Amino acid sequence: MITVTTNNSAKNTAKNSAEAGGDVRLCGISKTYGSFTAVRPLDLTVPQGSFFALLGASGCGKTTTLRMIAGLEEPSSGTVFLGDQDVTNLPPYRRPVNTVFQSYALFPHLDIFENVAFGLRRRGIKSVKKQVGEMLDLVQLGEQARKKPHQLSGGQQQRVAVARALINTPKVLLLDEPLGALDLKLRRQMQLELKRIQTEVGITFIHVTHDQEEAMTMADTVAVMNGGRVEQLGAPADLYENPQTTFVANFLGTSNLIEAEVDARSGDEIVLRAGGGKLVLPEARCSAPTTTGGKVLVGVRPEKISLTHADEAGEIPAGRNRITGTIADSSFIGVSTQYVIDSPVCPEFEVYAQNIDRDPRLVPGAEVVLHWNPAHTFGLDAAQDIDAGIETVEEEGAAA
Amino acid sequence: MATVTDAPPLAPAPAPKERPPRKRGRLTPYWLLLPGILWLVVFFALPMVYQASTSVQTGSLEDGYKVTWHFATYWDAVADYWPQFLRSIAYAGTATILCLLLGYPLAYLIAFRAGRWRNLILILVIAPFFTSFLIRTLAWKTILADSGPVVGALNTLHVLDVTSWLGVTAGDRVLATPLAVVCGLTYNFLPFMILPLYTSLERIDGRLHEAAGDLYARPFTTFRKVTFPLSMPGVVSGTLLTFIPASGDYVNADLLGSTDTRMVGNVIQTQFLRILDYPTAAALSFILMAGILAVVTLYIRKSGTEDLV
Amino acid sequence: MGLLRWFKRRLVVIAGLLTLGYLLLPNIVVTVFSFNNPKGRFNYEWQRFSTDAWTDPCGVADLCGSLSLSLQIAAWATLGATVLGTMIAFALVRYRFRARGAVNSLIFLPMAMPEVVMAASLLTLFLNLGAQLGFWTILIAHIMFCLSFVVTAVKARVMSMDPRLEQAAQDLYAGPLQTFLRVTLPIAAPGIAAGALLAFALSFDDFIITNFNAGSTVTFPMFVWGSAQRGTPVQINVIGTAMFLIAVLFVLAGMVISNRRNRQKA
């Protein structure tokens, strides 16, 4: 695959752009088309040299945001800064920013060499041969230089698109769903390769994707967008473990959400009532205001939950959150088994159990107790739509 | 290794205090449109106005014409030339239907059955355009000649007896009869039917035929329920591209027909270029235009195909 | 039974080939009769084989003059219609502007109008303006009716073009002019070429509109029309056949070249 580590030129460019430097700062940028608001006023800082992902379903405004940074869309309001430079009014061809387009947008009438050389030539550089050769070697397409784009495979075209943008050593590389057209296996491979290239060249990457796994695998920081605004921003693990909204909880992985009522507070823990049982939630992990008697949505990830047959309920250690229910469905995945539990507090409770010691009694119809460490519980504002982010994931899946 | 420093500086950083609205080419489309649209307005739309005005003028060539709102010209034109109008519609309509019947199999053949011969057949459909259509129309005089093999064969098979009885041929002749004119019209406008048909057939995914077969449709049912409906855009534009020019044509009626096959195009041509009765010619032309526009509008509405252009 | 099935399966192919025969029959006749040595003034009946006309294609007065006039007019009309039509097509596909509907109708109407109507109305304009009928009026008319066809051909191509290609060019430091010259124009070229070819064919072969607006100028189709009344020289068939063969050879050569190029690259 792509061997960045052995290439000196890439390291030089990394140093160079580090010196030129600067964060990408969006100050109150928004975009409206007539009465439709694609992006609500947005403040965002992408630190220099980071791998930043804009994650969201189609129509959430992530691509529009990217295109405003590239200069392909004019913001309706706000300012775009690259370092200290206000680039809001610069057309795309004056911005030190390059884009890897969705479905690549390789020039069909030019061969691979000329595609990669395009940016250099437009900036008036005469001797491009060496540089293009090096860049093509970098993406392992040296042999294909004289072929036309349509003669290459999807993965090769993708690498040409990356090479064509990277050769200009932009301050920021924008990637618009760059892996969307690749099959699953190739996509996994390219995710790692892009990540490695980014680490090597040190250029800021802003990556737009609807694939939450892709965003979490590649990015240092992920901004989850929904309805034209950023719902939550943070490191992938942080977003996953501490979602602040139902949309993030459901869009990033799967969450079991239970409606509960605040019963009492004890120290830094909140005690909640749900369907007759009691659940404990650390106050630090609750993003919603809690008043006694008020509603809160309690969430827990399916893999945090242990499953015990009702007959052995007594063996569960004290201090764990518990819920009883009946197994409605189970599917064997290989590394794990996924159960759907019908419980009075939540009609479809999902549990992922590692296949270490499988209990043969855990079949549909069996009475079970679900239990988990209260530290894995998170609390959300109950005023939100409990299903936000669920349907859109399925739609995206169908589209992809 | 060339680095960024080799390149000229990307942009002098402008520091506008208040942002001027970036009018990236708001006027560009108008400049692009201007010359061509102007051309069409002056040499297509404006002449229509002149023609309308001419049609209500009276006077003579020597004394000049004046607008007198003499609408009677229209009534006289219709009263004098209604047979030619009817004939135009009948001939053009028949030719259009024949073009569809003849053209569809060939378009289908090119789209689905021709394999590696596809391009060659397409070339053969288009290439005759380069032999002047007048020369090719004259060739029909040879083909349909009274003593020629075609007429001979039709006579032997007693086909001409039937067509004579129907009134489309006269006696032992084909030339100088309606049949010859319709035959010429059909021939001349057939490519205008085949090409749009082929374009819309070619877009049909071949797997749809397999899917229809898989869902128990026999070949003819597949055609009726899947292929033909999907080719409707081609049928609509093909019939229009055939009917419109055929209805105004006077070359076929002149070269292959007789005085009994004169179409409205012949009348307009004669009035304009020989008799120099401009008001009558303009009125006839105006009626033809209005009729065609009505037909086109209705037809496009009915067929629901809005984007023919 | 077997024969019937064989026939049924190939019904479409047989019908299609019969139509193709119908389309090509006049061309065959034209070609054969270009070797005729007719008795009278008209070349409608076969007499005996002769290559006289082929060895002396310009042997008829005014024939080659009218041919060269037609070629000239077609070349200029193609140039004019292609430039104007391409500009309109780009405006229609790439920009939002007022009166789009009116512009679309103005493009569509010339194609939905019988030629004789356009011919007659344009003549009333020229008569009213007192214009001298001849080369220029023919050229004006030809550009007018070719324009819409060019717009249609170019528009189809530009519409199928991914707008991201132009954005990619801009992203890669190409200004508006560079983007147009280096990306847009080369990719739209096949559509423009198709439009130009169509315009050339339409203009070269036009008779009805030319007949109204030519005055005493004689183009090739008008020469043929006139000879249909006075007597058809064999040379007409020679030129018709030659044009047909040249067109076919051009296209075949183009196909062979592009095939070979693709094979080399692959």
pLDDT of residue B1: 34
Looking at the predicted structure, is the pLDDT value of residue A6 above 60? no
Question: What length is written for chain B?
Answer: 309
Confidence check: pLDDT of B25 > 90: no
Q: How far apart are the first and last CA of chain A?
A: 25
Domain boundary among A189, A209, A241: A241
pLDDT at residue A20, rounded to an integer:
43
A173-230: pLDDT as tens digits: 999 998 887 888 888 888 988 888 888 888 999 999 999 989 999 999 999 999 898 9
Across the range B125-129, mean pLDDT stands at 87
Domain assignment present for residue A163? The answer is yes
- Are residues A174 and A46 both part of a single domain? yes
**CA–CA dist C266, C260 (Å, integer):** 10
Q: Is residue A53 very low, low, confident or very high in pLDDT (cuts 50, 70, 90)?
A: very high
State whether A357 and A211 are in the same domain.
Answer: no
Minimum distance, in Å, between the CA of residue A365 and any CA atom of chain C? 54
Of A12, A94, A123, the CB nearest to B3: A12
Contacts of A74 in chain B (CB under 8 A): 22, 24
- Taking only the tens place, the pLDDT of each residue in A377-394 is 999 988 888 888 775 444
- In C179-198, the residues whose Cβ lies within 8 Å of chain A are 179, 182-183, 186-187
Q: What is the mean pLDDT of residues C25-35?
A: 94
So what's the pLDDT on residue B17?
39
Q: How confident is the model at residue A266 (pLDDT cuts 50, 70, 90)?
A: confident
Name the nearest CA neighbour of B132 among C19, C246, C220: C220
Distance (Å, rounded) from C-alpha A302 to C-alpha A338?
9
B106 vs B112: CA distance, rounded Å: 10
Mean pLDDT over B239-254 rounds to: 93
Q: How far apart are CA A62 and CA C180, in angstroms?
A: 28
DSSP-assigned states of every residue in C72-97: HHHHHHHHHHHHHHHHHHHHHHH---
What are the chain B neighbours of C108 within 8 Å (beta carbons)?
Answer: 308-309
pLDDT in tens, C66-93: 999 999 999 999 999 999 999 999 999 8
Ranked by mean pLDDT, the top range of A72-76, A131-135, B96-100, C10-14 is B96-100
pLDDT of residue A21 exceeding 70, the answer is no
Side-chain half-sphere of A43: how many Cα atoms within 13 Å? Answer: 1
Q: Identify the three-state secondary structure at position B89.
A: helix
Percent of chain B residues topping a pLDDT of 70: 90
Tell me what percent of the residues of chain A surpass a pLDDT of 90. Answer: 52
pLDDT for position A3: 37
Q: Looking at the structure, do residues A263 and A348 belong to the same domain, yes or no?
A: yes
What's the structural domain count of chain A? 2
For the segment C34-61, the average pLDDT, to the nearest whole number, is 87
The average confidence (pLDDT) of chain C is: 90
The verdict on a CB contact (< 8 Å) between A125 and B7 is: yes
> CB contact, 8 Å: A110 with chain B?
no
pLDDT of residue B266 exceeding 90, the answer is yes
Local structure of residue A144 (DSSP, 8 states): G
Query: Which is more confidently placed, A243 or A18?
Result: A243
- Across A64-177, where does the E strand assignment appear? 77-82, 85-86, 97-100, 172-176
Q: A256 forms bridges with which residues in the sheet?
A: A300
Question: pLDDT tens, A89-143?
Answer: 999 999 999 999 988 999 999 999 999 999 999 998 888 999 999 889 888 888 8
Mean pLDDT of A133-155: 89
pLDDT score recorded for residue A18: 43
Query: What share of chain C in percent tops pLDDT 70?
Result: 98
At B144, give phi and psi (nearest 5°): -95, 15
pLDDT at B14: 41
Residue B12 pLDDT more than 80? no
pLDDT for the residue A17: 42
3-state secondary structure (DSSP) of residue A278: strand
State the virtual CA torsion across C131, C134, C138, C139 in degrees, nearest 10. Answer: -90
For all residues of chain B together, what is the average pLDDT? 85
**CB-based burial of residue A169 (10 Å sphere; 0-12 exposed, 13-18 middle, 19+ buried)?**
buried
Per the domain annotation, does A211 fall within a domain? Answer: yes
Of the partner residues A9, A91, A124, the one whose CB lies closest to the CB of residue B24: A91
Q: What is the pLDDT of residue B9?
A: 41
**Domain boundary residue among A241, A274, A309?**
A241
Task: Give the pLDDT confidence of B163-173 residue by residue, as tens digits.
Answer: 888 888 888 88
Residues A260, A212 within the same domain:
no
Domain with CATH 1.10.3720.10 in chain C: 61-232
Domain borders along chain B are 94-260
Mean pLDDT of the region C196-218: 93
Query: Which of B33, B136, B245 is opposite residue C114, by nearest beta carbon?
Result: B245
Q: Closest by alpha carbon to C135, among C200, C73, C82?
A: C73
**Whether residue A282 sits in one domain with residue A184:** no
Determine which of A303-317, B63-77, B96-110, C83-97 has the lowest per-residue pLDDT on average.
Answer: B63-77
H-helix or E-strand containing B271? Answer: none
B25/C176 touch (CB, cutoff 8 Å), yes or no: yes
What's the maximum distance between 2 C-alpha atoms anywhere in chain B?
94
Tell me which chains share at least 3 CB pairs under 8 Å with chain B: A, C
At residue B18, does pLDDT exceed 60? no
| pLDDT at C75 (0 to 100) | 97
Same domain, A208 and A281: no
* CATH number of the C61-232 domain: 1.10.3720.10
What separation in angstroms does the CA of B68 have from each of B58, B71, B76, B238? 6, 9, 16, 41
Substitution target from B24, B28, B34, B135 for chain C, most C beta carbons within 10 A: B135
For residue B267, pLDDT beyond 90:
yes
Sorting pLDDT into bands at 50, 70 and 90, what band is C119? very high
Question: Is the Cβ pair C27, B136 closer than 8 Å?
Answer: yes
Inspect the interface and report whether the beta carbons of A130 and B11 lie closer than 8 Å.
Answer: no
Contact B67, B57 (CB under 8 A): yes
What is the pLDDT averaged over residues B238-261? Answer: 93
Range of the domain at A355: 254-399
What per-residue confidence (pLDDT) applies to B165?
84
Assigned fold of B94-260:
MetI-like fold (1.10.3720)
Please write the tens of the pLDDT for every residue from A227-241.
898 999 999 999 999
Residue B108 pLDDT more than 60? yes
Dihedrals phi, psi of B279, to nearest 5 degrees: -55, -45
Instruction: Name the band, by pLDDT with cuts 50, 70 and 90, for residue C263.
Output: low
Residue A396 pLDDT > 50, yes or no?
Answer: no
pLDDT greater at residue B286 or residue A16: B286
Residues A151, C265: C-beta atoms closer than 8 Å = yes
Same domain, yes or no: A62 and A157 = yes
Q: Is there a single domain that holds both residue A316 and residue A354?
A: yes
Question: Which of A101, A123, A146 has its CB closest to that of C168?
Answer: A101
Determine phi and psi for A317, rounding to 5 degrees.
-60, 155
Does a structural domain hold residue A263?
A: yes
Residue B219 clears pLDDT 70, i.e. is over it = yes
What pLDDT is attached to residue C1? Answer: 59
Alpha helices in chain B (DSSP H): 28-40, 46-55, 72-108, 118-126, 133-143, 149-156, 159-166, 178-202, 206-214, 219-222, 228-230, 232-248, 251-256, 264-269, 278-303
Angle at C255 between CA C250 and CA C261, to 5 degrees: 125
Q: Do C172 and A122 touch (CB under 8 A)?
A: yes
Among the three residues A241, A264, A283, which one is the final residue of a domain in this structure?
A: A241
Tokens 């409770």 locate to A349
Q: Do residue A93 and residue C171 have CB atoms under 8 angstroms apart?
A: yes
Distance CA B217, CA B222 (A): 6
Tokens of B271: 């009035």
User: What pLDDT is stored for residue A147 in this prediction?
Assistant: 92
The predicted model gives A249-256 an average pLDDT of: 91
Structural domain includes residue A248: no
Is it the case that residue A292 has pLDDT exceeding 50? yes
Specify the CATH number for the domain of residue A266.
Answer: 2.40.50.100
Q: Two tokens at B18? A: 């208040």
Query: Crossing angle, helix C2-9 and helix C11-33, to 10 degrees?
Result: 70
